Structure 1
Amino acid sequence: MEQNLLDTIDLQLLDALQRDASISNVALAERVNVSPPTCLRRVKRLTDGGWIERQVAVLSTDKLAASLGHGLNALVEVSLDRQGSEHLDAFEARAVAHDAVQQCWRVSPGPDFMLVVQARDMPHYLAISQTLFTQDTNVRNVKAFFATKRAKFTTAWPVFPIAH
């Protein structure tokens, strides 16, 4: 397999693993119709080649909120005064280093960044906003949207061509 080319079996492996990375190698091999040793070699090659970045557990936000407190999920638009690469890089580095920031996207047009922020409650969000936004003199505008319902959440990418 060349570094940038994936065959159908590779795509099937990626699709199956992104839906359930806890599947056994034997079950995964059966699913994609290859031998277990071949399956293991291919998954290792996909991992070593960077196609698989990491394997994680996706936690239940509802159960965590019940155990740890209500929880507050905010989608935050951030616009900077100066958009030079050093200014964008500096804000991005601070945002991605903060544990409450689950996702950080540079976007265009519109704001410079979109953040997904998970806070325990409003006072916690206020502390986060003080650290990330208020204390940064280059932050021009912040617009936060607080989630009232999560209708869909997935980490899966469509790896097969989608028919239109």
Structure 2
Amino acid sequence: MSETTEQLDDIDRRILNALQIDASHTNAELAELVHVSQPTCLRRVKQLTENGVIERQVAIVAPDKVGARLTAIVEITLDVQAADRMEEFENVVADEAAVLQCYRVSPGPDFVLMVQVADMPAYHALAHRLFTTHSNVRNVKAYFSTFRSKFETRIAV
């Protein structure tokens, strides 16, 4: 267990669970929901944020409502796996808005990307920009989602 995990108490866990369900609560609402005073709640949320436990608070957008109907899970294998070449590829995909997540993985491919685009022509354009023009990309294997049966952002705390 990490040092931060060991320092989380029941109040922190209740706050984190409540925020993961709905981060739009006011401090007063959150305090009432987790059964602590408002000053305690405010201090705890601030502390969890400063310690990096809460990375950020965002709105989750429905992809189909904004024209991003195609989800692709893409495996990438590089020719050269030296640390600087891995970082170089990560920097390329970091600048691409359609790449929602990028993971270094082992064994198998070097990276797995989660990509959200409008349609197949948009995926082809992205693949050309990121993969075919990048000299260190050896292999690309893409899987296209036909149905999302589960999507969750909560982490058990």
TM-score w.r.t. structure 1 length? 0.89
- Encode CA deviations 1:65-96: one digit per residue, 9 max, x unaligned: xxx3x621100000001100011000011111
2:54 aligned residue: 52
Aligned ranges 1:42-121 → 2 under 5 Å: 42-64=44-66, 68=67, 71-121=69-119
The correspondence for 2:10, drawn from 8, 11, 22, is 8
AA of the residue aligned to 2:106? S
- Encode CA deviations 1:90-149: one digit per residue, 9 max, x unaligned: 001111111110110110000000001111111111110011100111111000000001
2:26 aligned residue: 24
Aligned ranges 1:141-160 → 2 under 5 Å: 141-159=139-157
Deviation at 1:60, TM superposition (A): 1.5
The gaps in structure 1 that reach 5 residues or longer are 160-164
Deviation at 1:62, TM superposition (A): 3.1
Secondary structure at the aligned position of 1:126 is classed as: helix
- Encode CA deviations 1:20-41: one digit per residue, 9 max, x unaligned: 0001212211222111111111
Deviation at 1:48, TM superposition (A): 1.3
CA distance in 2, matches of 1:77, 1:63: 27
The gaps in structure 2 that reach 5 residues or longer are none
Deviation at 1:7, TM superposition (A): 0.9
Secondary structure at the aligned position of 2:29 is classed as: helix
CA distance in 1, matches of 2:63, 2:100: 13
CA distance in 2, matches of 1:60, 1:6: 32
CA distance in 1, matches of 2:130, 2:63: 23
CA distance in 2, matches of 1:83, 1:139: 10
Task: Figure out how many residues of one structure are paired with residues of the other and give that number.
Answer: 153
Once superposed, what is the RMSD of the aligned Cα atoms? 1.2
1:139 matched to 2:143:
no
TM-score w.r.t. structure 2 length? 0.93
AA of the residue aligned to 1:145? Y
Larger mean CA deviation between 29-38 and 109-118 belongs to 29-38
Secondary structure at the aligned position of 1:128 is classed as: helix
